[in-house]
Structure 1
Amino acid sequence: GKVPSLLQVYHHAGIALAMWGSSVTQGSWIAWVVCLNSFIHTVMYTYFLLSTLGIKVPGAKYLTSAQIIQFFTGIFGTIGVQVMGEECDTEASRAVLTFIQMYAVGLIFLFGAFFGKKYNKKDGKGKAKKN
Protein backbone atom coordinates (compact mmCIF):
# COMPACT_ATOMS: atom_id res chain seq x y z
CA GLY A 1 0.00 0.00 0.00
CA LYS A 2 0.80 3.65 -0.06
CA VAL A 3 2.49 5.56 2.71
CA PRO A 4 -0.15 7.66 4.50
CA SER A 5 0.08 11.41 3.99
CA LEU A 6 0.72 13.89 6.79
CA LEU A 7 -2.95 14.90 6.50
CA GLN A 8 -4.12 11.30 7.04
CA VAL A 9 -1.78 10.64 9.98
CA TYR A 10 -2.54 13.98 11.68
CA HIS A 11 -6.28 13.60 11.11
CA HIS A 12 -6.64 10.03 12.38
CA ALA A 13 -4.12 10.16 15.24
CA GLY A 14 -5.46 13.52 16.38
CA ILE A 15 -9.10 12.47 16.35
CA ALA A 16 -8.30 9.31 18.34
CA LEU A 17 -6.65 11.45 21.05
CA ALA A 18 -9.44 14.03 20.92
CA MET A 19 -12.24 11.49 21.28
CA TRP A 20 -10.42 9.63 24.05
CA GLY A 21 -9.92 12.88 25.96
CA SER A 22 -13.50 13.98 25.47
CA SER A 23 -14.90 10.63 26.61
CA VAL A 24 -12.70 10.58 29.73
CA THR A 25 -13.64 14.16 30.71
CA GLN A 26 -17.28 13.82 29.58
CA GLY A 27 -17.46 17.25 27.99
CA SER A 28 -20.96 18.61 27.55
CA TRP A 29 -19.99 19.88 24.10
CA ILE A 30 -18.91 16.54 22.63
CA ALA A 31 -22.36 15.42 21.40
CA TRP A 32 -22.59 18.51 19.19
CA VAL A 33 -19.10 17.98 17.75
CA VAL A 34 -19.76 14.27 17.11
CA CYS A 35 -23.10 15.01 15.38
CA LEU A 36 -21.46 17.60 13.13
CA ASN A 37 -18.64 15.20 12.26
CA SER A 38 -21.05 12.28 11.73
CA PHE A 39 -23.12 14.33 9.29
CA ILE A 40 -20.08 15.21 7.17
CA HIS A 41 -18.82 11.62 7.22
CA THR A 42 -22.25 10.25 6.24
CA VAL A 43 -22.31 12.52 3.19
CA MET A 44 -18.66 11.73 2.42
CA TYR A 45 -19.05 7.94 2.61
CA THR A 46 -22.25 8.07 0.57
CA TYR A 47 -20.23 9.88 -2.09
CA PHE A 48 -17.49 7.21 -1.89
CA LEU A 49 -20.06 4.39 -2.11
CA LEU A 50 -21.68 5.88 -5.20
CA SER A 51 -18.27 6.45 -6.79
CA THR A 52 -17.26 2.85 -6.03
CA LEU A 53 -20.46 1.63 -7.69
CA GLY A 54 -19.44 3.55 -10.81
CA ILE A 55 -22.00 6.30 -10.36
CA LYS A 56 -20.45 9.62 -11.36
CA VAL A 57 -21.20 12.11 -8.63
CA PRO A 58 -19.75 15.58 -9.07
CA GLY A 59 -18.70 17.47 -6.02
CA ALA A 60 -15.55 16.05 -4.42
CA LYS A 61 -14.25 19.58 -3.93
CA TYR A 62 -17.53 20.53 -2.24
CA LEU A 63 -17.01 17.70 0.24
CA THR A 64 -13.54 19.01 1.05
CA SER A 65 -15.01 22.50 1.40
CA ALA A 66 -17.71 21.13 3.72
CA GLN A 67 -15.04 19.50 5.89
CA ILE A 68 -13.16 22.80 6.17
CA ILE A 69 -16.41 24.59 7.06
CA GLN A 70 -17.05 21.88 9.67
CA PHE A 71 -13.71 22.67 11.35
CA PHE A 72 -14.49 26.40 11.49
CA THR A 73 -18.00 25.66 12.76
CA GLY A 74 -16.63 23.35 15.44
CA ILE A 75 -14.12 25.94 16.63
CA PHE A 76 -16.50 28.88 16.72
CA GLY A 77 -19.48 26.82 17.86
CA THR A 78 -17.66 25.73 21.01
CA ILE A 79 -16.16 29.07 22.01
CA GLY A 80 -19.11 29.56 24.36
CA VAL A 81 -17.90 26.63 26.46
CA GLN A 82 -14.56 28.40 26.88
CA VAL A 83 -16.22 31.74 27.67
CA MET A 84 -18.73 30.30 30.17
CA GLY A 85 -15.94 28.52 32.04
CA GLU A 86 -16.90 26.54 35.12
CA GLU A 87 -20.57 27.38 34.67
CA CYS A 88 -20.54 25.26 31.54
CA ASP A 89 -17.94 22.51 31.93
CA THR A 90 -15.02 21.19 33.97
CA GLU A 91 -11.50 22.50 33.64
CA ALA A 92 -10.32 19.12 32.29
CA SER A 93 -13.07 19.08 29.67
CA ARG A 94 -12.22 22.62 28.57
CA ALA A 95 -8.53 21.62 28.29
CA VAL A 96 -9.52 18.79 25.94
CA LEU A 97 -11.72 21.22 24.02
CA THR A 98 -8.77 23.61 23.68
CA PHE A 99 -6.71 20.72 22.27
CA ILE A 100 -9.50 19.91 19.79
CA GLN A 101 -9.82 23.56 18.74
CA MET A 102 -6.06 23.80 18.10
CA TYR A 103 -6.15 20.42 16.33
CA ALA A 104 -8.95 21.77 14.11
CA VAL A 105 -6.81 24.79 13.17
CA GLY A 106 -4.15 22.34 11.97
CA LEU A 107 -6.82 20.47 10.00
CA ILE A 108 -7.92 23.72 8.35
CA PHE A 109 -4.37 24.33 7.12
CA LEU A 110 -3.83 20.73 5.98
CA PHE A 111 -7.21 20.39 4.26
CA GLY A 112 -6.74 23.86 2.75
CA ALA A 113 -3.38 22.83 1.30
CA PHE A 114 -4.93 19.59 0.01
CA PHE A 115 -7.77 21.58 -1.58
CA GLY A 116 -5.35 23.99 -3.25
CA LYS A 117 -3.17 21.19 -4.58
CA LYS A 118 -6.02 18.99 -5.80
CA TYR A 119 -8.61 21.48 -7.08
CA ASN A 120 -6.70 24.64 -8.03
CA LYS A 121 -4.53 23.09 -10.71
CA LYS A 122 -3.26 25.29 -13.51
CA ASP A 123 -3.27 24.43 -17.18
CA GLY A 124 -0.18 25.02 -19.33
CA LYS A 125 -1.14 28.69 -19.80
CA GLY A 126 -1.26 29.62 -16.11
CA LYS A 127 -5.06 29.56 -15.95
CA ALA A 128 -6.94 27.54 -13.37
CA LYS A 129 -8.45 24.36 -14.76
CA LYS A 130 -12.16 23.78 -14.29
CA ASN A 131 -12.97 20.87 -11.97
Structure 2
Amino acid sequence: MAALIIAGKKAYEEWVLGKMDHRSDELFLMSSIWSPVAVIGLYLYFVKCVGPRHMKNRPAYELNGVMKAYNLTQILCSVYMLLYSLKAGWAFKYKWLCEPVDYSFTASSIDVVRCVWTYMMIKLLDLVDTVFFVLRKKAAHTSFLHVYHHAIVFFGAWCCTKYVPGGHGTFIGPVNAFVHIVMYTYYFVTATWPEYRKSLWWKKYITQLQLAQFLIVTLHSSTVLFMDDSCKYPKPLAAFLAVQNGFMFILFAEFYVKSYRRKIK
Protein backbone atom coordinates (compact mmCIF):
# COMPACT_ATOMS: atom_id res chain seq x y z
CA MET A 1 0.00 0.00 0.00
CA ALA A 2 2.82 2.38 0.92
CA ALA A 3 4.57 1.64 -2.39
CA LEU A 4 1.35 2.43 -4.26
CA ILE A 5 1.00 5.76 -2.47
CA ILE A 6 4.63 6.65 -3.20
CA ALA A 7 4.18 5.72 -6.88
CA GLY A 8 1.02 7.83 -7.08
CA LYS A 9 2.76 10.79 -5.46
CA LYS A 10 5.67 10.48 -7.87
CA ALA A 11 3.36 10.29 -10.89
CA TYR A 12 1.42 13.33 -9.64
CA GLU A 13 4.62 15.35 -9.20
CA GLU A 14 6.04 14.27 -12.56
CA TRP A 15 2.98 14.45 -14.81
CA VAL A 16 0.57 16.86 -13.12
CA LEU A 17 2.98 19.34 -11.54
CA GLY A 18 6.07 18.74 -13.66
CA LYS A 19 4.37 19.28 -17.03
CA MET A 20 2.68 22.57 -16.11
CA ASP A 21 3.32 25.71 -18.15
CA HIS A 22 3.96 28.36 -15.51
CA ARG A 23 3.42 31.34 -17.81
CA SER A 24 -0.23 31.34 -16.74
CA ASP A 25 0.39 31.10 -12.99
CA GLU A 26 -0.64 34.70 -12.30
CA LEU A 27 -3.95 34.41 -14.14
CA PHE A 28 -7.21 33.75 -12.29
CA LEU A 29 -7.75 30.07 -11.32
CA MET A 30 -4.43 29.02 -12.86
CA SER A 31 -2.17 28.61 -9.83
CA SER A 32 -3.30 25.07 -8.94
CA ILE A 33 -5.11 22.14 -10.53
CA TRP A 34 -7.35 22.05 -7.48
CA SER A 35 -8.98 25.31 -8.62
CA PRO A 36 -10.90 23.77 -11.56
CA VAL A 37 -11.57 20.62 -9.50
CA ALA A 38 -13.18 22.81 -6.81
CA VAL A 39 -15.21 24.75 -9.40
CA ILE A 40 -16.57 21.56 -10.98
CA GLY A 41 -17.23 20.02 -7.57
CA LEU A 42 -19.27 23.05 -6.49
CA TYR A 43 -21.04 23.11 -9.86
CA LEU A 44 -22.11 19.46 -9.60
CA TYR A 45 -23.03 19.82 -5.93
CA PHE A 46 -25.33 22.77 -6.69
CA VAL A 47 -26.87 21.22 -9.82
CA LYS A 48 -27.53 17.79 -8.33
CA CYS A 49 -28.05 18.53 -4.61
CA VAL A 50 -28.31 22.09 -3.27
CA GLY A 51 -30.22 23.63 -6.18
CA PRO A 52 -32.99 21.00 -6.54
CA ARG A 53 -33.35 20.82 -2.75
CA HIS A 54 -33.69 24.62 -2.55
CA MET A 55 -36.27 24.72 -5.35
CA LYS A 56 -38.29 21.69 -4.27
CA ASN A 57 -41.11 23.63 -2.54
CA ARG A 58 -40.61 26.95 -4.29
CA PRO A 59 -42.06 28.36 -7.51
CA ALA A 60 -39.66 28.81 -10.41
CA TYR A 61 -37.81 32.12 -10.57
CA GLU A 62 -38.65 34.26 -13.60
CA LEU A 63 -35.16 35.77 -14.16
CA ASN A 64 -36.24 37.44 -17.42
CA GLY A 65 -34.06 40.50 -16.99
CA VAL A 66 -31.10 38.45 -15.78
CA MET A 67 -31.44 36.07 -18.73
CA LYS A 68 -31.45 38.92 -21.25
CA ALA A 69 -28.32 40.43 -19.68
CA TYR A 70 -26.62 37.01 -19.57
CA ASN A 71 -27.40 36.20 -23.20
CA LEU A 72 -26.18 39.61 -24.35
CA THR A 73 -22.99 39.14 -22.31
CA GLN A 74 -22.43 35.76 -23.95
CA ILE A 75 -22.83 37.28 -27.42
CA LEU A 76 -20.29 40.01 -26.66
CA CYS A 77 -17.84 37.52 -25.09
CA SER A 78 -18.15 35.20 -28.10
CA VAL A 79 -17.56 38.02 -30.58
CA TYR A 80 -14.49 39.05 -28.59
CA MET A 81 -13.25 35.44 -28.46
CA LEU A 82 -13.70 34.98 -32.21
CA LEU A 83 -11.76 38.14 -33.05
CA TYR A 84 -9.08 37.44 -30.42
CA SER A 85 -8.45 33.85 -31.58
CA LEU A 86 -8.23 34.93 -35.22
CA LYS A 87 -5.79 37.72 -34.35
CA ALA A 88 -3.69 35.54 -32.06
CA GLY A 89 -3.10 32.81 -34.62
CA TRP A 90 -5.78 31.32 -36.82
CA ALA A 91 -6.27 34.22 -39.24
CA PHE A 92 -2.65 34.89 -40.14
CA LYS A 93 -0.04 32.73 -38.38
CA TYR A 94 -1.17 29.17 -37.68
CA LYS A 95 -0.90 26.28 -40.13
CA TRP A 96 -4.12 24.33 -40.64
CA LEU A 97 -2.77 20.77 -40.69
CA CYS A 98 -0.35 20.94 -37.78
CA GLU A 99 0.62 23.77 -35.46
CA PRO A 100 2.97 23.12 -32.50
CA VAL A 101 2.71 24.89 -29.17
CA ASP A 102 5.05 27.86 -28.71
CA TYR A 103 6.33 27.74 -25.12
CA SER A 104 8.56 30.80 -25.47
CA PHE A 105 8.16 34.11 -23.67
CA THR A 106 7.71 36.24 -26.78
CA ALA A 107 4.90 38.78 -26.82
CA SER A 108 2.95 36.77 -29.41
CA SER A 109 3.17 33.48 -27.47
CA ILE A 110 2.11 35.17 -24.22
CA ASP A 111 -0.81 36.67 -26.12
CA VAL A 112 -1.84 33.16 -27.18
CA VAL A 113 -1.70 32.00 -23.54
CA ARG A 114 -4.05 34.82 -22.58
CA CYS A 115 -6.30 33.96 -25.51
CA VAL A 116 -6.63 30.34 -24.37
CA TRP A 117 -7.24 31.53 -20.79
CA THR A 118 -9.98 33.85 -22.08
CA TYR A 119 -11.65 30.87 -23.73
CA MET A 120 -11.48 29.02 -20.41
CA MET A 121 -13.11 31.94 -18.59
CA ILE A 122 -15.97 31.95 -21.10
CA LYS A 123 -16.42 28.22 -20.44
CA LEU A 124 -16.60 29.11 -16.73
CA LEU A 125 -19.37 31.59 -17.57
CA ASP A 126 -21.17 28.82 -19.50
CA LEU A 127 -21.71 26.95 -16.22
CA VAL A 128 -24.21 29.63 -15.24
CA ASP A 129 -26.54 28.18 -17.92
CA THR A 130 -27.20 25.19 -15.68
CA VAL A 131 -27.70 27.35 -12.60
CA PHE A 132 -30.46 29.21 -14.44
CA PHE A 133 -32.08 25.92 -15.46
CA VAL A 134 -32.18 24.79 -11.83
CA LEU A 135 -33.58 28.11 -10.55
CA ARG A 136 -36.23 28.10 -13.29
CA LYS A 137 -37.10 24.45 -12.49
CA LYS A 138 -36.20 23.24 -15.98
CA ALA A 139 -35.21 19.78 -14.76
CA ALA A 140 -35.35 18.23 -18.24
CA HIS A 141 -32.60 20.61 -19.36
CA THR A 142 -30.12 19.48 -16.69
CA SER A 143 -29.54 16.20 -18.51
CA PHE A 144 -26.37 14.14 -18.54
CA LEU A 145 -25.52 15.65 -21.93
CA HIS A 146 -25.82 19.21 -20.67
CA VAL A 147 -24.00 18.77 -17.35
CA TYR A 148 -21.24 16.53 -18.73
CA HIS A 149 -20.65 18.84 -21.67
CA HIS A 150 -20.29 21.96 -19.54
CA ALA A 151 -18.11 20.32 -16.89
CA ILE A 152 -15.72 18.53 -19.26
CA VAL A 153 -15.33 21.52 -21.57
CA PHE A 154 -14.42 23.81 -18.68
CA PHE A 155 -11.91 21.33 -17.23
CA GLY A 156 -10.46 20.63 -20.67
CA ALA A 157 -10.07 24.36 -21.31
CA TRP A 158 -8.23 24.72 -17.99
CA CYS A 159 -5.89 21.85 -18.87
CA CYS A 160 -5.15 23.36 -22.28
CA THR A 161 -4.37 26.71 -20.65
CA LYS A 162 -2.07 25.07 -18.10
CA TYR A 163 -0.30 22.48 -20.26
CA VAL A 164 -0.71 23.23 -23.99
CA PRO A 165 -1.73 26.91 -24.32
CA GLY A 166 -1.69 27.27 -28.09
CA GLY A 167 -1.15 25.30 -31.24
CA HIS A 168 -3.35 22.89 -33.15
CA GLY A 169 -5.93 22.20 -30.44
CA THR A 170 -6.97 25.84 -30.12
CA PHE A 171 -8.86 25.58 -33.42
CA ILE A 172 -11.96 24.92 -31.34
CA GLY A 173 -11.77 28.52 -30.06
CA PRO A 174 -12.95 30.42 -33.16
CA VAL A 175 -15.28 27.61 -34.24
CA ASN A 176 -17.02 27.45 -30.86
CA ALA A 177 -17.17 31.25 -30.59
CA PHE A 178 -19.01 31.48 -33.91
CA VAL A 179 -21.50 28.79 -32.84
CA HIS A 180 -22.14 30.60 -29.56
CA ILE A 181 -22.74 33.92 -31.31
CA VAL A 182 -25.55 32.28 -33.30
CA MET A 183 -26.90 30.32 -30.33
CA TYR A 184 -27.02 33.15 -27.79
CA THR A 185 -28.42 35.56 -30.38
CA TYR A 186 -31.37 33.17 -30.70
CA TYR A 187 -31.72 33.00 -26.91
CA PHE A 188 -31.52 36.79 -26.60
CA VAL A 189 -34.15 37.37 -29.30
CA THR A 190 -36.61 34.86 -27.83
CA ALA A 191 -36.07 36.17 -24.29
CA THR A 192 -36.54 39.80 -25.35
CA TRP A 193 -39.37 39.22 -27.80
CA PRO A 194 -41.08 35.98 -26.70
CA GLU A 195 -43.80 36.44 -29.34
CA TYR A 196 -41.22 35.40 -31.96
CA ARG A 197 -40.41 32.12 -30.20
CA LYS A 198 -42.83 30.10 -32.31
CA SER A 199 -42.02 31.82 -35.60
CA LEU A 200 -38.22 31.60 -35.52
CA TRP A 201 -37.37 28.73 -37.85
CA TRP A 202 -33.71 28.35 -37.01
CA LYS A 203 -33.84 26.71 -33.56
CA LYS A 204 -33.16 23.17 -34.78
CA TYR A 205 -30.41 24.46 -37.06
CA ILE A 206 -28.49 25.61 -34.00
CA THR A 207 -28.17 21.96 -32.98
CA GLN A 208 -27.11 21.12 -36.54
CA LEU A 209 -24.49 23.85 -36.27
CA GLN A 210 -23.25 22.31 -33.02
CA LEU A 211 -23.05 18.90 -34.70
CA ALA A 212 -21.03 20.45 -37.52
CA GLN A 213 -18.73 22.02 -34.93
CA PHE A 214 -17.96 18.69 -33.24
CA LEU A 215 -17.43 16.95 -36.57
CA ILE A 216 -15.10 19.66 -37.90
CA VAL A 217 -13.02 19.73 -34.70
CA THR A 218 -12.84 15.92 -34.65
CA LEU A 219 -11.54 15.82 -38.21
CA HIS A 220 -9.16 18.73 -37.63
CA SER A 221 -7.70 17.14 -34.48
CA SER A 222 -7.27 13.84 -36.31
CA THR A 223 -4.92 15.28 -38.95
CA VAL A 224 -2.07 15.30 -36.43
CA LEU A 225 -2.42 11.55 -35.91
CA PHE A 226 -1.54 10.82 -39.54
CA MET A 227 1.54 13.04 -39.74
CA ASP A 228 5.15 12.07 -39.17
CA ASP A 229 7.41 13.29 -36.35
CA SER A 230 7.86 16.66 -38.03
CA CYS A 231 4.53 17.62 -36.46
CA LYS A 232 5.45 18.62 -32.91
CA TYR A 233 1.93 18.86 -31.53
CA PRO A 234 1.42 16.01 -28.97
CA LYS A 235 -0.42 13.14 -30.64
CA PRO A 236 -2.01 11.82 -27.38
CA LEU A 237 -3.69 15.21 -26.88
CA ALA A 238 -4.83 15.32 -30.50
CA ALA A 239 -6.29 11.83 -30.07
CA PHE A 240 -8.11 12.88 -26.89
CA LEU A 241 -9.58 15.94 -28.63
CA ALA A 242 -10.72 13.81 -31.55
CA VAL A 243 -12.32 11.16 -29.31
CA GLN A 244 -13.94 13.71 -26.98
CA ASN A 245 -15.46 15.76 -29.80
CA GLY A 246 -16.53 12.57 -31.56
CA PHE A 247 -18.27 11.48 -28.35
CA MET A 248 -20.01 14.86 -28.09
CA PHE A 249 -21.12 14.51 -31.71
CA ILE A 250 -22.79 11.19 -30.84
CA LEU A 251 -24.52 12.64 -27.75
CA PHE A 252 -25.76 15.71 -29.62
CA ALA A 253 -26.89 13.57 -32.57
CA GLU A 254 -28.95 11.45 -30.20
CA PHE A 255 -30.45 14.61 -28.69
CA TYR A 256 -31.24 15.96 -32.17
CA VAL A 257 -33.03 12.76 -33.20
CA LYS A 258 -35.10 12.72 -30.00
CA SER A 259 -35.94 16.43 -30.16
CA TYR A 260 -36.65 16.95 -33.85
CA ARG A 261 -36.68 13.87 -36.07
CA ARG A 262 -39.08 11.89 -33.89
CA LYS A 263 -41.35 14.92 -33.44
CA ILE A 264 -41.58 15.26 -37.23
CA LYS A 265 -42.55 11.60 -37.56
Normalised by the shorter chain, which TM-score bucket?
Answer: 0.7 to 0.9
- The one of the two structures with greater contact order (alpha-carbon pairs below 8 A, sep at least 6) is 1
Q: CA separation of 1:42/1:85 partners in 2, compared to 1, >3 Å: closer, same or farther?
A: farther
* Counterparts of 2:187 and 2:248, CA distance in 1: 21
- Alignment partner of 1:98 is 2:239: yes
63-72 or 26-35, which deviates more:
26-35
RMSD across aligned C-alpha pairs, in angstroms? 1.9
Please tell me whether Structure 1 or Structure 2 has the larger radius of gyration of its CA atoms.
Answer: 2
1:63 aligned partner, one-letter code: I
Aligned mate of 2:164, from 7, 19, 25: 25
22-31 or 97-106, which deviates more:
22-31
Which residues of 2 match residues 97-116 of structure 1 at below 5 A?
97-116=238-257
Aligned mate of 2:230, from 51, 68, 87: 87
SS in 2 for 1:120: helix
* Counterparts of 1:86 and 1:21, CA distance in 2: 24
Question: 1:40–1:67: 8 Å Cα contact kept in structure 2?
Answer: yes
49-58 or 34-43, which deviates more:
49-58
44-53 or 81-90, which deviates more:
81-90
* Counterparts of 1:89 and 1:5, CA distance in 2: 38
69-78 or 113-122, which deviates more:
113-122
- Residue 262 of structure 2 is matched in structure 1 by 121
User: What TM-score comes out, normalization by structure 2 length?
Assistant: 0.42
Structure 1 gap ranges (5+)? none
* Counterparts of 1:83 and 1:22, CA distance in 2: 22
For this pair of structures, how many residues does the alignment match? 122
**Displacement of 1:78:** 2.3
- Residue 68 of structure 1 is matched in structure 2 by 211
- Residue 52 of structure 1 is matched in structure 2 by 191
Q: 1:14-43: CA deviations, max 9, x gaps? A: 212221222222341133211011110111
**Displacement of 1:13:** 1.4
45-54 or 113-122, which deviates more:
113-122
SS in 2 for 1:78: helix
Question: 1:27–1:90: 8 Å Cα contact kept in structure 2?
Answer: no
* Counterparts of 1:109 and 1:82, CA distance in 2: 21
The share of aligned pairs that are identical, in percent, is 28
Question: 1:64–1:111: 8 Å Cα contact kept in structure 2?
Answer: yes
Q: 1:54-93: CA deviations, max 9, x gaps? A: 23422111110110011110011222222235422343xx
* Counterparts of 2:231 and 2:175, CA distance in 1: 20
- Residue 8 of structure 1 is matched in structure 2 by 146
Structure 2 gap ranges (5+)? 1-133
